[in-house]
Amino acid sequence: MTLDLLLFLGLALIAVLAAAGMLASRDAVYSALFLVLNFLTVAMLYLLLNAAFIAMVQVTVYAGAIMVLFLFVIMLLGTGREVIGGPQRWQPALAVLLVAALAGEILFILLGPAAQMGTEMLAAGPQFGSPASVGRVLFSEYLVPFEVISILLLVAMVGAIVITRVQRRSQS
Amino acid sequence: MNIPPAYVLALSGILFAMGVLGVMIRRNAIVIFMSIELMLNSANLVLIGAARAMAPAVEALRGHVFVFFVIAVAAAEVAVGLALIVAIFRTKGTIDVDEVSSLRG
Q: Which of A9, A12, A121 sits opposite B5 (nearest CB)?
A: A121
pLDDT higher than threshold 90 for residue A1: no
Over the stretch A91-103, which tens digit does the pLDDT of each residue have? 888 888 999 999 8
pLDDT band at B90; cut points 50, 70, 90: confident
Task: State the pLDDT at residue B1.
Answer: 61
- What is the residue extent of each domain of chain B? 5-92
Over the stretch B54-77, which tens digit does the pLDDT of each residue have? 877 777 888 899 999 999 999 999
Q: What residue in A sits closest to B58 (Cα-Cα)?
A: A128
Asked whether the beta carbons of residue A49 and residue B48 sit closer than 8 angstroms, the reply is yes
- Gap between the Cα atoms of B3 and B5, Å rounded: 6
Percent of chain A past pLDDT 90, that is, above it, reads 40
- Gap between the Cα atoms of A29 and B47, Å rounded: 29
Over the stretch B4-41, which tens digit does the pLDDT of each residue have? 888 888 899 999 999 999 998 888 889 999 999 999 99
Task: State the pLDDT at residue A93.
Answer: 85
- A144 found inside a domain: yes
B93 contact A CB<8A: no
- A33 found inside a domain: yes
B97 contact A CB<8A: no
Q: Name beta bridge partners: B96.
A: B28
- In chain B, positions 36-75, which contact chain A (CB-CB < 8 Å)? 37-38, 41, 44-46, 48-53, 55-56, 58, 60-62, 64-65, 67-69, 71-75
**A1 in the same domain as A77:** yes
Lowest mean pLDDT among A85-89, A160-164, B5-9: A85-89
- A106 found inside a domain: no
- Which helix (H) or strand (E) element contains residue A126? none
Question: Please, are residues A120 and B2 in contact by the beta-carbon 8 Å criterion?
Answer: yes
Burial profile A42-78: b = 16 or more Cβ within 10 angstroms, e = fewer: bbbbbbbbbbbbbbebbbebbbeebbebbbebbeebe
Number of domains in chain A: 2
Helix (H, G, I), strand (E, B) or coil at A127: coil
**A77 in the same domain as A1:** yes
A88 contact B CB<8A: no
- pTM attached to this predicted model: 0.88
User: How close A138 gets to chain B, by Cα (Å)?
Assistant: 6
A66, A84, A120: best mutation site toward chain B, by most B Cβ within 10 Å? A66
pLDDT higher than threshold 90 for residue A25: no
- Gap between the Cα atoms of A32 and B26, Å rounded: 14
Task: State the pLDDT at residue A166.
Answer: 58
Q: What residue in B sits closest to A92 (Cα-Cα)?
A: B25
The phi, psi pair for A28, rounded to 5°, reads -65, -30
Lowest mean pLDDT among A74-88, A102-116, A145-159, B67-81: A74-88
pLDDT band at A133; cut points 50, 70, 90: confident
**A147 in the same domain as A75:** no
Asked whether the beta carbons of residue A110 and residue B46 sit closer than 8 angstroms, the reply is yes
- Gap between the Cα atoms of B57 and B79, Å rounded: 36
Task: State the pLDDT at residue A151.
Answer: 95
For residue A147, count other CB atoms closer than 10 A to its CB: 10
Domain at A21, CATH number: 1.20.120.1200
> Residue A155: which domain range?
132-172
- A72 found inside a domain: yes
- A107 found inside a domain: no
Give the C-alpha distances (Å, rounded to integers) separating B59 from A141, B42, B66, B72. Answer: 11, 22, 12, 21
Among residues B37, B49, B45, B97, the alpha carbon closest in space to that of A62 is found at B37
Asked whether the beta carbons of residue B38 and residue A19 sit closer than 8 angstroms, the reply is yes
Which residue stretches of chain A are H helix? Answer: 3-24, 28-48, 52-57, 67-77, 90-116, 131-140, 143-171
Q: Name beta bridge partners: B28.
A: B96
Cα radius of gyration rounded to whole Å, chain B:
18
What number does CATH give the domain B5-92? 1.10.287.3510
Task: State the pLDDT at residue A106.
Answer: 87
The single-letter code of the amino acid at B22 is G
pLDDT higher than threshold 90 for residue A39: yes
Lowest mean pLDDT among A39-48, A105-114, B18-27, B76-85: A105-114
**A65 in the same domain as A138:** no
Report chain A's mean pLDDT, rounded to a whole number. 85
Enter the ipTM: 0.91
- A vs B: CB pairs below 8 A: 264
- In angstroms, the first-to-last Cα distance of chain A is 67
Task: State the pLDDT at residue A82.
Answer: 65
Contact residues for B77 (Cβ-Cβ < 8 A; gap 6+): A156
Lowest mean pLDDT among A72-86, A103-117, A138-152: A72-86
Among residues A69, A64, A55, the alpha carbon closest in space to that of A11 is found at A55
